[in-house]
Amino acid sequence: MKQRFVLDTTAITDSGLRMKEGYESLCESAQEILDLIAKARLKFEISCYIPYPTVYGELVSFLRRYECCEDVFVKLDTWLVKKTPNRYEVKIPAAIFYEYVLTMRQKINRGRKLAEEFIWESSAIASSIASREEEDVSKKDLIQQEIGALIGRFRDKYKTTLRQGILDSSPDLDVLLLAKELEAGVVSSDAGIRKWSERMGLRFVEASKFPRMLKEYLALSETK
């Protein structure tokens, strides 16, 4: 049976992948991975899909931001199959949807509690500074500095608490829908995509391991 994979943006852009494989830049890793995909397609008829236009547009925008050469975009259009998932026909079990709603409810409640904690902390900081007697530093400026630092910490904790392990964008969802439609494996480094791939019974390949998997296929074929 021919293998199919649906690629998330991180399948090409993951920083952990670049460190593991020793690539010096994003453009170099994109070039090498696309070359491996091309060889695997010609040798084993392994097909790699990318949801269009969501994930494709996201990936192109990312590569252009890093000023990758035009050759990378030619390979992208040649060796990745662009396909829009059939959102009206793909069926997701009700249990999956039910679990996702419960997960989101829990995340929202945690986010609310976190926000309340930081509001109380900011109020205490402002009150403490306002009650000081020294006038060598503007109290207003000092409050803004302290609250600014507090907001930075809140953003980091909020992102970890609310966004980690969930599907928080249409490209993420399109990856899963297309993989479900094609009965394909998912290639990503996103924790949310990984979690829900497992819930949906989809094969999942960590982005950092995907190039080595293709290299292993190719190496074994050359020894035969």
The 10s digit of each residue's pLDDT in 161-207 is 877 777 878 999 999 999 999 999 999 999 889 999 999 999 999 99
- Contact criterion met (CB below 8 Å) for 222 and 40: no
The mean of the pLDDT values for the chain is: 90
Q: What is the identity of the amino acid at 62?
A: F
The CATH number assigned to the domain with range 4-91+170-223 reads 3.40.50.1010
Q: What average pLDDT does range 209-217 have in this prediction?
A: 93
**Residue 1, helix vs strand vs coil:** coil
Is the pTM higher than 0.75? The answer reads: yes
Predicted local confidence at residue 15, as pLDDT: 87
Q: How many residues does the chain have?
A: 224
DSSP state, residue 207? G
